Amino acid sequence: MLDMLIEILLEIIIEGSLEAAESKKVPMPVRILLAAGVVLIFGAVVGMLIWNGVIRKSLLLIICGVLFLALVILLAANKITRFQKARRK
């Protein structure tokens, strides 16, 4: 029951942050802070995956964590370059 509540709360927080970070109505400093918060949350998940893999000596968890980290970095870089191109126009 508690895990379901935590899942719903985190989903609301993350989805709301992602939507607000992309909205033009929200001031730029707030959007940057929200995007940084989402990246921090995903970074914590990746860190826990890698840390858990190291403790359990599970190569699969470490590889999954590193791949997830690479995916997050690629998506963030893509979003930043799109934003910079849109801002120049």
Say if CB 35 and CB 27 are below 8 A apart. Answer: no
Tokens representing 78 are: 């893509």
- 50-80 confidence digits (pLDDT tens): 999 999 999 999 999 999 999 988 988 898 8
- 2-40 confidence digits (pLDDT tens): 889 988 988 898 888 888 888 888 898 998 898 888 888
pLDDT at 47: 92
Q: pTM to 2 decimals?
A: 0.71
Say if CB 21 and CB 31 are below 8 A apart. Answer: yes
pLDDT at 82: 87
> Is 88 a residue whose pLDDT tops 90?
no
